[in-house]
Structure 1
Amino acid sequence: MRKINIGIILISIVVVGMLIPVAFSGQSDSVVITYGETTHANSEYKSIVDNFFKTQANVDLSNVNSKIITADEVNKISSGITGKTYSSSQIFSSALVDLNDNDNLEVSVDKSMITTITGNMYISALKSAGITSGHVYVTSPVTATGESALAGIMNSYEVATDVEIPEPVKEAANNEIYTQAEIVENSNVSADQLSSLVDDVKETVKEENITDHQTIVNIIYNYTVVNNINITNNDIENLADSIEQIQNIQGDINAYETQINDVLNSTDVNSAKGFLDGLFK
């Protein structure tokens, strides 16, 4: 009788393993690193970045999937937003995405190296793209603004979930990051103040389904007055453009959010977990 029970348990484990989607069958697939190509090409730089990830994320990097984010990939985004172009010697920012802990979206930024983009900015942009789960870690071997890291973060989500983010969604999220970075670098507003302002405006615009540019401008202006935030009219116009862009693609964002949530909250995974819990009890 004991042999039969062991056989049943072994078969059950195999069946449960078959139920779990490939993307979440182990750490190697649910944790992804994207290295800036400058960092990856320099063994010392890569070691610095890897040590940060090991310490902060507490994961074994030997079996983790990784990708290299090139200057060409970053320039496809940045050149159309800010006009900036980067060489292959300027892409330092690197990111690790861990989907093992997917209850809430959390971003840990190495503040000693990432000088402009804060964790709240990344969270805001990722939520604009429909991403609400996972733990993201961002660092660089040398000081960097962190703007280019968002491209790598979204790439990591695509690798880990096998769900492609629509291009308009990527463009809107990156535009949000670049717009905020430019305002922070050229004004006296703090990154946290600006991120909070953008979140409040986006929430209002989404709730009231506003797509009119001037109305969005007025909402931003009112928030700056109430919160005593001093930014230029040009900054307000640029923020309005960014938020309007996000609002105009809500259909794409909602569709992607549904897809990624179906993967992260797969009923098969939950059923398998419940089955195993019951089995071993």
Structure 2
Amino acid sequence: MKTIFGPINSRRFGSSLGIDLSPALKQCNFDCLYCELAPSATTDTQKNIVEVSTIINELKEHLNDKIDVITITANGEPTLYPYLDELIDEINKIKNNTQTLILTNSATLVDEKVFDSLLKLDQVKLSLDAISESVFKRIDRPHVGIEIKNIVQKVIDFSNIYKGKLFIEILFVHGLNDTKEEIEKLNDVLLKMHPTRIDLGTIDRPPAYPVSGLSYGELHKASLLFDSSLPIHIASRTHAEPNNSSYDNEEILNTLDKRPLTMEDIDLLFDEESKKRLENLISTSKIVIKKVGNLEFFILHENEKRKRLK
């Protein structure tokens, strides 16, 4: 399977070319309630591994000066990739002015090698959904042995020495980490950090488990509970700029396999011919529409089927 997907107009990071370090299956040390991937057993190692040379060769084919950021991610947790340090070094050799970014759940920062590897990136997005151990375990469902107190300390340590752009993401789940008490704990920890931005988000894609997100109004109220000195941002699609690129059938399927998209996303990403190809894929049932709240997402039929079987 291909490791490169996109480019996607990220609502927060610009035109993003993605690298999926686990394209064949989900490999993660968390099994988050809100994950857009199907539920699966957690792991602390990758069994199915793509060679660094394969990733770099694919990246060279797709990288151009219109890409704002090369985003390292995975069907799961990208920092479980055993050759991450080598991969980052190789990307840095060819990226030119393009920024590098990783999206991680923060748990492996307790590993000194991972910690040092992430320091080489231009941008790092660390997730931190809860501070209380009980809330953390309910939302993120971590692999055995992972404790939030250790993660929190390493996130603080990282923020104090990292020279690039650091983003902290908190994803709120209704009735779990959106309480005043948990937000106060998050606030106290965030005041010890030096992030570029703190993104407050919620469930806006089909989740792995039957949980619900917050409304924009509820997110706004939550944002007011944080210290005014913190760079709080309510994540939103409304500031995305049009890309209107051409996608063939395989690229459409590959992109939707990695990230379900709304029609708003499609209007920003696809040119008119690509939209016609999307319509044909829908008519042949290769792509289906799944509604989450007031939003409708385009998702691969096989992914929808897999989720129903869980």
Same fold (TM over 0.5): no
Q: Which has the higher contact order (CA 8 A, sep 6+)?
A: 1
Specify the structure having the higher radius of gyration (Cα): 1
From the two aligned structures, give the one with the greater helix fraction: 1
- Larger relative strand fraction: 2
> What is the TM-score normalised by the length of structure 2?
0.27
